[in-house]
């Protein structure tokens, strides 16, 4: 196996330690100080050797975690010609196209910055859309956590489980989840107001959910609006238990509370973003993509 050094950015230190341990590689911790004006000052607590892996998820505060990721890549490049960047949650991936006239496609800039900083390859997990990945101008791999999430749910005793995507955009994810699980899936019809962000479920009848335990599958839970509205709708259809499952649990503000109030039994997520709903470790699938 190639010799690696794994730099654990402060947003992903635990995950980076797990990756380093699986690769039997040197782990380098980062010390972070934030100056009064908001600038980040990072100090590596070790010298990288061999190929370097930088692990830094770009979740809130997105702009700070982004500049820290870029700074780490730039520093790593001074020690190695091969710098692999693991960004489990890639902030700005949703800004991959213009929905309204004049909207800036900021993902294009993010892609240019990683190339300029010296990244050789980027590894992301369940990116919001492949269009975002296409903006990257260096080799990039999107790793799917769906198989790991399914393993978690297979251990639960669910009543006649059915996979539900809260929107048509998530249909492929739900289909993939359902195929691995060996059960059926459906997709609801969701509408999001592009100006206010407000979500409504347009679906009418879904009698097939009656009495069944449901797993609502999404790539991310941000404000919780999509899952909350979907769960409220499904409960009205007299389903059994509703589980919310996602790769990236951003859980902004009172998202968790809103989701629970809508009748969701449990939120299950991966450690792409460290939080208390993490039940699934993605280090094994990241390691597979690295070697
Ligand atoms: C949308 O297309 C995404 O797949 C998620 O459904 C969405 O980003 C979740 O956001 P929120 O939790 O704010 O509804």
In terms of domains, do 116 and 185 share one? no
H/E element holding 181?
A: helix 171-181
Q: Hunting for tokens 């809130």 — which residue is that?
A: 60
Pairing of strands 140-143, 199-201: unpaired
Give me the CATH number covering residue 237: 3.40.50.2020
In terms of domains, do 106 and 19 share one? yes
- Alpha helix locations (H) across 3-121? 13-22, 62-77, 106-117
In terms of domains, do 95 and 14 share one? yes
Nearest to 54 by CA among 25, 91, 34, 95: 25
In terms of domains, do 32 and 105 share one? yes
In terms of domains, do 193 and 110 share one? no
Closest ligand 1 atom to residue 166 Cα is 6
In terms of domains, do 28 and 68 share one? yes
The number of domains in the chain is 2
In terms of domains, do 151 and 163 share one? yes
Give catalytic status of residue 190 as yes or no.
yes
In terms of domains, do 111 and 185 share one? no
Give, for ligand 1, the residue of 97, 190, 194, 219 to mutate: max count of ligand atoms closer than 8 Å to Cβ.
219
218 lines ligand 1 (CB under 6 A): yes
Q: Which residues contact 204 (CB under 8 A, 6 or more apart)?
A: none
Give, for ligand 1, the residue of 130, 199, 218, 251 to mutate: max count of ligand atoms closer than 8 Å to Cβ.
218
220 lines ligand 1 (CB under 6 A): yes
Give me the catalytic one of 190, 195, 229, 257: 190
In terms of domains, do 127 and 23 share one? yes
In terms of domains, do 8 and 139 share one? yes
In terms of domains, do 61 and 162 share one? no
- How far, in Å, is the centroid of ligand 1 from the Cα of 226? 6
> How many whole angstroms separate alpha carbon 144 and alpha carbon 277?
18
Give, for ligand 1, the residue of 96, 125, 199, 221 to mutate: max count of ligand atoms closer than 8 Å to Cβ.
221
In a domain, 276, yes or no: no
In terms of domains, do 118 and 250 share one? no
Going residue by residue through the chain, which has 291 residues, state the pLDDT in tens, using 9 for 90 and above.
Answer: 568 999 999 999 999 999 999 999 999 999 999 999 999 999 999 999 999 999 999 999 999 999 999 999 999 999 999 999 999 999 999 999 998 899 999 999 999 999 999 999 999 999 988 999 999 989 999 999 999 999 999 999 999 999 999 999 999 999 999 999 999 999 999 898 888 888 898 877 888 999 999 999 999 999 999 999 999 999 999 999 999 999 999 999 999 999 999 999 999 999 999 999 999 999 999 999 999
Beta strand extents in 112-178 (DSSP E only): 121-125, 140-143, 162-165
Residue range of the domain that includes 265? 146-271
In a domain, 153, yes or no: yes
In a domain, 104, yes or no: yes
In a domain, 51, yes or no: yes
In a domain, 36, yes or no: yes
pTM reported for the whole predicted model? 0.94
CA 153 → CA 90, 183, 216, 238, 284, distances in Å? 25, 12, 12, 21, 18
- How far, in Å, is the centroid of ligand 1 from the Cα of 132? 16
In a domain, 210, yes or no: yes
In a domain, 189, yes or no: yes
């Amino acid at each position: 196996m190639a010799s690696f050094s794994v730099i654990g950015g402060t947003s992903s230190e635990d995950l980076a330690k797990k990756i380093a341990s699986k690769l039997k590689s040197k782990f380098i911790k980062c010390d972070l100080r934030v100056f009064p004006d908001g600038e980040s000052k990072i100090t590596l607590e070790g010298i990288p050797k061999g190929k370097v892996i930088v692990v830094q998820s770009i979740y809130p505060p997105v702009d700070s975690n982004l500049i820290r990721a870029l700074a780490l890549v730039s520093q790593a490049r001074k020690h190695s010609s091969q710098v692999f960047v693991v960004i489990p949650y890639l902030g700005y991936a949703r800004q991959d196209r213009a929905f309204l006239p004049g909207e800036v496609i900021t993902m294009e800039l993010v892609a240019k910055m990683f190339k300029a900083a010296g990244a050789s390859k980027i590894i992301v997990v369940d990116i919001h859309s492949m269009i975002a990945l296409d903006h990257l101008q260096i080799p990039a791999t999107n790793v799917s956590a769906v198989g790991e999430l399914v393993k978690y749910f297979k251990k639960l005793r669910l009543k006649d489980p059915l996979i539900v995507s809260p929107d048509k955009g998530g249909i492929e994810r739900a289909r993939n989840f359902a195929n691995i699980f060996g059960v059926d899936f459906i997709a609801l019809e969701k509408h999001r107001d592009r100006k206010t962000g407000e979500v409504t479920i347009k679906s009418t009848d879904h009698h097939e959910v009656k009495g069944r335990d449901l797993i609502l599958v999404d790539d991310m839970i941000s404000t919780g609006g999509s899952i909350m509205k979907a769960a409220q709708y499904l409960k009205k259809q007299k389903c059994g238990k509703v589980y919310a499952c996602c790769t990236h649990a951003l859980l902004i503000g009172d998202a968790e509370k809103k989701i629970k109030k809508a009748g969701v039994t449990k939120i299950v997520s991966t450690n792409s973003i460290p939080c208390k709903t993490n039940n699934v470790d993605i280090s094994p699938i990241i390691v597979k993509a690295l070697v």
